[in-house]
Structure 1
């Protein structure tokens, strides 16, 4: 069966020149599921493309695929620099998340990211749910930390939205790893927020990060008509740069 192209869009913001550094990892900030509320079945396949802007300038294109089958899932995300930045970043930034598909959604087992095999900024996370431990490999070192329930990685979290019900919720807390560390996030929720997107005007669920000292400003818009996948994301760092990510193409298969 050919893929059915959605009439609306989804989005995510995972690109920056030095993304593998801790501060820059905020560019890829997204939510991790805290206490799941299940909805209807999610699509088995998603294929999407996104534009990433820095202070209004187009700096990258991201292509991403999600596939679930036989009780497991795999997500691949590749971001390629465009324009003059492509002269300096010749290799795409590639992230991969894989794990189990459970009754409550995605349960990551492995996550990694790098521009190439020799990339010194390579990150890796291995989830041991039985031992409740998380092994993080980065910068030539390996750390093992306790693994909280429902932890997601920065890729799986975007698709975990498909399994979560936001009806009536006003607050959302989450735990997510970027391969370097675990972070705890708190968001306020607003329903029925209409926005314009490249694929048309749509009603969304708007998530706004409740910031602490040193935190970046983060907003995410989820589209209920598209399985609650994000349609837009904005991050503004403390040092000034503003990043926007918007979907330009989205295809799904049931």
Structure 2
């Protein structure tokens, strides 16, 4: 079951990584090394692509050999430095067992609908809720413009939670892609045993060069290997 936990951790970690460019939202592909409980297991890619009329698709993909895989996809619009959620999907597979989550943001009816493995829930669309991927894009814009919000409203299968994003100061980080002076941040979760730390490099426009997630007895980390504009 360790590979399954690794993939779940990879998806949790993806919720706190950010991609940026100094002047505009720019398509890119990034590669990261994932480690589970201190052991390197796999690499993962993160890809941001523009479609049309300010519509964007952001995708995360990880694979652990032939046994397991995980993907997340966010579709959103982007206007005046503001992310507007449209759709989100997550799929994981582990030795033939699958797990899926789909979220639809219906702005006309002001309703969010989630489907987690066949269980459907609906709740009001309030406070411009984000998903766990496009929240990265919104926070990136807010950091660039020096207007980080006290909380961000992020959607999961059961509802919309307000999460804090806390600045912990500066720290130098070594990665395969180079050494960086970074700003260290913490994403606060609603569970005391869970915490996520990440390091953003101002010289790369706040690109995340390292992320560390702890969840009880399990820990996951991610480190930048390669990055390229598309």
With the shorter chain as reference, the TM-score category is: 0.7 to 0.9
- Deviation, structure 1 residue 163: 1.5
Does the alignment pair 1:51 with 2:28?
Answer: no
User: What is the count of residue pairs matched by the alignment?
Assistant: 224
Distance 2:122 2:99 in 1: 18
- Would the aligned equivalents of 2:10 and 2:34 in 1 still touch at CA under 8 Å? no
- Deviation, structure 1 residue 210: 4.2
- Deviation, structure 1 residue 75: 1.2
Change (3 A) 1:203 1:212: same
- Would the aligned equivalents of 1:174 and 1:184 in 2 still touch at CA under 8 Å? yes
Provide the residue aligned with 2:222 in structure 1. Answer: 245
Runs of 5+ consecutive residues of structure 1 not aligned to the other structure:
1-14, 33-38
Q: Which protein has greater RCO, CA pairs closer than 8 Å, 6+ apart?
A: 1
Runs of 5+ consecutive residues of structure 2 not aligned to the other structure:
none
Change (3 A) 1:124 1:211: closer
- Deviation, structure 1 residue 57: 0.8
Does the alignment pair 1:42 with 2:29?
Answer: no
Does the alignment pair 1:88 with 2:74?
Answer: no
Q: Which runs of 4+ in 1 moved over 3 A?
A: 18-21, 23-29, 166-172, 178-181, 209-215
Provide the residue aligned with 2:197 in structure 1. Answer: 219
Provide the residue aligned with 1:196 in structure 2. Answer: 174
- Deviation, structure 1 residue 136: 0.6
Does the alignment pair 1:182 with 2:184?
Answer: no
| Between structures 1 and 2, the one with greater strand share | 2
Distance 2:222 2:173 in 1: 14
- Would the aligned equivalents of 2:48 and 2:56 in 1 still touch at CA under 8 Å? yes
- Deviation, structure 1 residue 156: 1.4
Structural RMSD (CA): 3.1
After TM superposition, the score normalised by the length of structure 2 is: 0.82
Residue aligned with 2:77, SS: strand
Change (3 A) 1:157 1:16: farther
Distance 1:173 1:216 in 2: 18
- Would the aligned equivalents of 2:54 and 2:77 in 1 still touch at CA under 8 Å? yes
Distance 1:168 1:72 in 2: 24
After TM superposition, the score normalised by the length of structure 1 is: 0.75
Provide the residue aligned with 2:16 in structure 1. Answer: 30
- Would the aligned equivalents of 1:158 and 1:229 in 2 still touch at CA under 8 Å? no
Provide the residue aligned with 1:157 in structure 2. Answer: 135
1:98-125 CA distances to partner (integer Å, 9 max, x unpaired)?
Answer: 1211112322200101147x96411000
The equivalent position to 1:126 in structure 2, one of 101, 104, 113, is: 104
Residue aligned with 2:164, SS: strand
Residue aligned with 1:164, SS: helix
Q: Which moved more, 1:150-159 or 1:135-144?
A: 150-159
1:65-109 CA distances to partner (integer Å, 9 max, x unpaired)?
Answer: 10125311011221111xxxx2532xx312111121111232220
Distance 1:217 1:31 in 2: 14
